[in-house]
């Protein structure tokens, strides 16, 4: 508590005296904290994890302050714009511009909410190296949402691979974790390498990679078609789109609970965020030209992964394939090219970023106790783990888009937006809601109802206090977004129009 208060006072003083900008403090506080943890003596393990939790909580508080001070009515497209330049012998060797709009602000909030949860869910298995990795990863993610430079985005986008590779490869739960880590690395790296020549082409033609300047540059349709494929290759892997999705179920199954929470909650959003931030405003003609292709691919992925989920017996794979289906629905909304569907896409990104991590946390509770995620060995938790069963019921209903859940609102708005663009695609994609109900209820029934299996599981223990406190914030946010969606939708409207009006 003393460390938390001291850190809060120091950061508040730096911001109040205009020594550092609020956005800069929010982004770089975890990186500074990782250096502090690294330099601390190795013997004090308890203090390390408490300090890590304090750093992530202060970062969360700063992001909430950032959200409360953000002006949605501002005429400027980006707020808190800060330029960082470093020179040597008169030549600038580092130039980075940061700024946020309501789209990136909500992604920052989602990121800062999930990281304290990751610290708490890894509380009993924490190592000093894992704490440093988590704090560095948080800074990279906060920076990637805020950077207003194509080259800076690319560098951060690639850098995120390093801590994620280590989190899965070192912190995984089974022997196949190395294979899963390399699949994540190779899939993402190959896609990103295709994007690199496009960045060089943009720089050679315009002389800049600054996003605000590039928004005012007009390329010929032929040039846009060429550049579009480079960005598509990088972002489609991260969503992921079929058939580039094979790395995700492996990564989820082998990752620790914290790794799965970050993968589902934040990492998958990088691809759809890239489409919204870069493709729609920079390459509007290409987006319009390729929108039928994207809708077709997203529809195929939506139905295929939903059907694949029905035959899974591993709880993590069920949630992983469900995530692929939800993210392809986001992609479908983005390429419907209207304001309603774009707002719905962002809403679904946020709601999925809350519900899916909560389900992975619940699977982590099962695995910590019984060392299995297979449905064969589970059952009867309603009588033996009642609090766990209530949480699992609520988040399963939200995952299947039951009314009054944020997933329902976002998926309904998505289908309305897609229907205005292509009615047959919307009608066919409605089947995914039926399929999501089928696999969500099936998994819930197998885990919670039925009889216990004493030949496999001989003792039961409900949620402890730490696990309850981890899940309660996600539950409250889920209820809040389901009851008051306008708070999110109204704040997104201006930024969605600004980034989308070039396409329409």
In percent, how much of the chain has pLDDT > 70?
89
Tens-place pLDDT, residues 376-408: 888 888 888 889 999 999 999 999 888 888 999
20, pLDDT greater than 70: no
Query: Maximum Cα–Cα distance for the chain, whole Å?
Result: 74
Instruction: Provide mean pLDDT across the span 329-345.
Output: 88
DSSP code at position 241: P
Cβ proximity of 392 and 447 under 8 Å: yes
pLDDT in tens, 43-71: 667 788 888 898 999 999 999 988 888 87
Residue 275 has pLDDT above 50, yes or no: yes
Residue 429 has a pLDDT of 83
In this structure, how many other beta carbons lie within 10 angstroms of the beta carbon of residue 97?
20
Predicted pLDDT of residue 90:
54
User: With 90 as the cut, is the pLDDT of residue 137 above it?
Assistant: yes
Q: How far apart are CA 38 and CA 35, in angstroms?
A: 5
Q: Taking the model in full, what pTM does it have?
A: 0.91
Taking residues 241-265, what's their average pLDDT? 87
Whole-number Å distance between alpha carbons of 198 and 467 = 46
**pLDDT, position 257:** 87
Mean pLDDT, residues 245-257: 85
158 burial level (CB within 10 Å; 0-12, 13-18, 19+):
middle
Task: State the pLDDT confidence band at 475, using cuts at 50, 70 and 90.
Answer: very high
Residue 424 pLDDT greater than 90, yes or no: no
The answer to which of 191-195, 252-256, 305-309, 442-446 has the lowest mean pLDDT is 252-256
Token pair recorded at residue 34: 């990782």
pLDDT at 503: 45
Q: Give per-residue pLDDT as tens, 439-453.
A: 888 888 888 887 777
Tens of pLDDT along 228-240?
Answer: 999 999 999 988 8
Percent of the chain having pLDDT more than 90? 24
How do residues 98-113 score in pLDDT, each as one tens digit? 888 888 999 999 999 9
- Model confidence over 160-183: pLDDT tens digits? 988 888 888 776 556 677 888 888
Check residue 112 and give its pLDDT: 94
Integer Cα distance of 121 and 257 in angstroms: 7
What is the mean pLDDT of the segment spanning 349-357?
93
The more confident residue out of 192 and 451 is 192
**For the chain, how are helix, strand and coil distributed in percent, rounded to 5?**
75, 5, 20
Contact 69, 86 (CB under 8 A): no
Range of weakest confidence among 140-144, 211-215, 412-416 = 211-215
Query: Is 86's pLDDT higher than 80?
Result: no
Beta bridge partners of 94: 86
């Amino acid at each position: 508590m003393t460390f938390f208060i001291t850190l809060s006072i120091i950061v508040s003083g730096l911001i109040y005296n205009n020594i550092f900008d609020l956005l800069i403090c929010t982004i770089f506080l975890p990186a500074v904290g990782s250096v502090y943890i690294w330099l601390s003596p190795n013997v004090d393990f308890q203090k390390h994890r408490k300090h890590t939790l304090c750093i992530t909580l202060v970062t969360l508080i700063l992001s909430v302050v950032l959200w409360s001070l953000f002006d949605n009515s501002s005429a400027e497209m980006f707020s808190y714009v800060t330029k960082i330049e470093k020179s040597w012998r008169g030549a600038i060797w580092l130039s980075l511009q940061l700024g946020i709009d309501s789209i990136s602000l909500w992604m920052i909030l989602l990121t800062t909410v999930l990281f304290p949860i990751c610290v708490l869910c890894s509380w009993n298995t924490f190592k000093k190296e894992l704490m440093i990795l988590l704090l560095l990863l948080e800074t990279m993610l906060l920076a990637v949402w805020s950077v207003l430079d194509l080259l800076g985005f690319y560098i951060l986008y690639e850098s995120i691979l390093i801590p994620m590779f280590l989190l899965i490869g070192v912190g995984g739960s089974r022997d196949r974790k190395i294979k899963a880590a390399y699949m994540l690395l190779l899939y993402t790296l190959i896609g990103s390498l295709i994007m690199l020549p496009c960045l060089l082409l943009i720089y050679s033609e315009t002389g800049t990679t600054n996003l605000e300047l590039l928004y005012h540059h007009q390329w010929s349709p032929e040039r846009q078609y060429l550049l579009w494929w480079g960005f598509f290759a990088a972002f489609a892997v991260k969503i992921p789109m079929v058939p580039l999705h094979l790395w995700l179920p492996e990564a989820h199954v082998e990752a620790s609970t914290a790794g799965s929470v970050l993968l589902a909650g934040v990492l998958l959003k990088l691809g759809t965020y890239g489409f919204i931030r870069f493709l729609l405003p920079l390459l509007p003609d290409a987006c319009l030209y390729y929108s039928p292709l994207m809708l077709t691919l997203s529809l195929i992925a939506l139905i295929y992964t939903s059907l694949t989920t029905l035959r899974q017996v591993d709880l993590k794979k069920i949630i992983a394939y469900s995530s692929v289906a939800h993210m392809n629905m986001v992609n479908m909304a983005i390429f419907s090219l209207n304001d309603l569907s774009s707002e719905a896409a962002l809403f679904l990104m946020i709601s999925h970023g809350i519900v899916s991590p909560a389900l992975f946390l619940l699977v982590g509770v099962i695995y910590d106790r019984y060392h299995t995620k297979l449905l064969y060995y589970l059952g009867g938790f309603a009588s033996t783990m009642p609090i766990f069963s209530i949480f699992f019921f609520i988040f399963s209903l939200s995952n299947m888009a039951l009314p009054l859940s944020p997933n329902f609102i976002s998926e309904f708005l998505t289908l309305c937006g897609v229907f205005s663009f292509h009615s047959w695609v919307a009608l066919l994609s409605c089947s995914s809601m039926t399929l999501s109900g089928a696999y969500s209820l099936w998994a819930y029934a197998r885990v919670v109802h039925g009889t216990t299996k004493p030949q496999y599981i001989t003792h039961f223990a409900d949620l402890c206090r730490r696990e309850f406190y981890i899940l309660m914030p996600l539950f409250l946010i889920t209820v809040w977004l389901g009851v008051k969606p306008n708070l999110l939708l109204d704040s997104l409207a201006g930024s969605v129009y600004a980034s989308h009006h070039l396409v329409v």
